[in-house]
Amino acid sequence: MVAIDANTFLTQGFAAAWELAGGSWAQAPVGKNATVPLASRLLLQFEGINLGDGVLDINKYSNNIMARQLLLTLALEKMGKPATTANGELVIQSWLKQHGLNFPGLVIENGSGLSRNEAISTDQMNQLLLTARNLPSAEIFYNSLPIAGVDGTMRNRLMTQFRKFLHLKNKPEARIKTGSLAEVRAISGYVVSKSGKMYAVSSFINHPNAWRGLEAHDQLLEWLLEDGPEPKQAR
């Protein structure tokens, strides 16, 4: 949240960026609400990064601001102005329905991980992961997830475990999105085991001592890297 109003925030941000670039002002800029005159001429247009790169930044580094902006952008693109989180949720629910997913109890409050009210079950999250593997953008999403022992929020996780696999030609990997709040720890993503099997995995810990769950989550991922559950015997 920003402590000052939007006009002041944007004006001061623009002014600071201009001055850092070496610019100066004959008169300090003032921001205010207004309608752009029809005769106005476009001086500069800037396009941000593409969606794939944006999702990579969001997932690798748990960028909550970008995640919220993505939800608002979906609302704007699909439902028009004003871009609201409520309309963003409608877009998400419509997408889930199109892919045959029914998620009772799903709550989207602000579109980021900084919410005490947002909710989804681990079963629903795994259904989403499995659905994602069959989408045209499957590899873009997969590659956006932090790699355990390599980058993002998983950069320092499971490093000792992966040393055991250095001799393998096809090395296992864990691509895991993390989440944390006070009394909450969560992981969700994919694990490719040493035999090449891929698992979708999600685990949420909600407890006053949730910070201690990091070790439990690492042990769960280590178990899956070693091929995890034994296949069920035919009856």
pLDDT score of 3 more than 90: no
Of all residues in the chain, what percent are helix, strand and coil, respectively (each to 5)? Answer: 40, 15, 45
| Residue type (1 letter), 187 | I
Mean pLDDT of 154-163: 93
The CATH architecture assigned to 121-229 reads: 3-Layer(aba) Sandwich (3.40)
Identify the band that residue 97 occupies on the pLDDT scale cut at 50, 70 and 90. Answer: very high
Q: What is the pLDDT of residue 235?
A: 38
pLDDT score of 229 more than 90: no
Mean pLDDT of 142-148: 97
Q: pTM of the prediction?
A: 0.82
pLDDT score of 232 more than 80: no
185 CB-contact burial (10 Å; exposed 0-12 / middle 13-18 / buried 19+): buried
pLDDT score of 159 more than 90: yes
142 CB-contact burial (10 Å; exposed 0-12 / middle 13-18 / buried 19+): middle
The rounded mean pLDDT for the chain is 92
The residues spanned by each domain of the chain are 47-120, 121-229
Tens of pLDDT, residue by residue over 23-59, are: 999 998 998 888 888 999 998 888 888 999 999 999 9
